[in-house]
Structure 1
């Protein structure tokens, strides 16, 4: 029994230390392997430097895997994210993309920030108390600790990446969407590099863009 408890504590500590992971995803059930002739990478980030880092990093990673891609920063005359686009204008953009042989769009954006505590810290405090694990764990969740004035250990960035098909016979069909949690290193280049590694793994696992 002691061995089981010890193993459970080790697993919880390891989970608390994960710096990047896929937390949820959806894949169109009608899609098997999807390989694009040419994919456009779009970062929906209002910060110019962050947008450049994101598109440059993902472009380089996909090109290494043999995927023919181009950044929105290179395709559009001005940043895509900063333009107010009407439905008619958007349809014209799609037409331009099709004429330039694009058949897929990969979109990435930050959808949230979440404050977290290290599980290891929680367990250390538990070992010094006489409470049951359940009592201590639920008493020390984020909302409780925030009310007590505890300082957060780290911040998680939640990235969402979506892959769309813009094939002539289909209207912006969603192929795949995934959400990733990345431990914020307070350095966008490091954060995007962690996202890139997870993204490549997930695309391969789902037979998307990358052919083994």
Structure 2
């Protein structure tokens, strides 16, 4: 099973590598879930660069809406005041409850983790096997991203991860899908964001999570 998983990643990488600068590095889907369709999904980008955070969310929301997904950016819940200091697990649990009240049943989180060289990349991949119980755990351990310096702009390789979490009221709040994507030597931040989003949405559709494949 492990070898099949690796071959799938390599095949996808080769297929998409010639199309743009983005490359799928890791791709994991909850084995207990065949398909997942959200009624209302919140799109959250975690990075210290506010301008690119807003641009990423705007473009991803537009792309998902084009695919028929009821998606919204995070401004209502994750404004500058909320990200100005670390939040406790209790505060994040209350936030999830507020999302449920507002009709959200899923959240798509994307984190930018820059890397200058392969040594740093290998170190970041070592954390791949860390499993989060849900969005609350992921956000709690990653929120330092908001206060880091903007050195990511200097990197020739953008290493980023996205994860889709269910926050459904009738079931455990669990991870549905997780993927890791590299964008190498982009011409600009806008190009990097465009390439990342295109690949992200393609993978979600291939996995039948959030963006469901259309069957003729």
Partner of 1:201: 202
Question: 1:16 deviation in Å?
Answer: 9.3
Provide the rounded CA distance (Å) in 2 between the counterparts of 1:15 and 1:196: 14
- Partner residue of 1:39 out of 30, 41, 57: 41
For the pair shown, which has the larger CA radius of gyration, 1 or 2?
Answer: 1
Question: 1:115 deviation in Å?
Answer: 3.9
Aligned length: 163
Partner of 1:160: 161
Question: 1:52 deviation in Å?
Answer: 0.6
Provide the rounded CA distance (Å) in 2 between the counterparts of 1:81 and 1:17: 35
Instruction: Decide whether the 8 Å contact of 1:46 with 1:81 is kept in 2.
Output: no
Unaligned regions of 5+ residues in structure 1, if any?
1-11, 117-153
Residues 26, 80 of structure 1: CA spacing in aligned structure 2 closer, same or farther, 3 A cutoff?
Answer: farther
> Could you report, residue by residue, the CA deviation over 1:96-122 in whole angstroms, capped at 9, with x for unpaired residues?
100111010100011232447xxxxxx
> Could you report, residue by residue, the CA deviation over 1:13-47 in whole angstroms, capped at 9, with x for unpaired residues?
x9799621111111000011100000001111111
- Map 1:24-103 to 2 at 5 A: 24-78=26-80, 80-103=82-105
Question: 1:77 deviation in Å?
Answer: 4.8
Question: 1:182 deviation in Å?
Answer: 0.5
Partner of 1:148: none
TM-score, structure 2 length as denominator?
0.68
Question: 1:94 deviation in Å?
Answer: 0.7
Unaligned regions of 5+ residues in structure 2, if any?
1-13, 119-154
Provide the rounded CA distance (Å) in 2 between the counterparts of 1:73 and 1:64: 20
Residues 39, 15 of structure 1: CA spacing in aligned structure 2 closer, same or farther, 3 A cutoff?
Answer: closer
Provide the rounded CA distance (Å) in 2 between the counterparts of 1:115 and 1:179: 16
Secondary structure of residue in 2 paired with 1:70? strand
Secondary structure of residue in 1 paired with 2:63? helix
Secondary structure of residue in 2 paired with 1:90? helix
TM-score, structure 1 length as denominator?
0.70
Question: 1:90 deviation in Å?
Answer: 1.0
Secondary structure of residue in 1 paired with 2:37? coil
Provide the rounded CA distance (Å) in 1 between the counterparts of 2:205 and 2:81: 29
Instruction: Decide whether the 8 Å contact of 1:40 with 1:102 is kept in 2.
Output: yes
Instruction: Decide whether the 8 Å contact of 1:107 with 1:163 is kept in 2.
Output: yes
> Could you report, residue by residue, the CA deviation over 1:67-115 in whole angstroms, capped at 9, with x for unpaired residues?
0011112444545433421122111111110011101010001123244
Residues 70, 79 of structure 1: CA spacing in aligned structure 2 closer, same or farther, 3 A cutoff?
Answer: farther
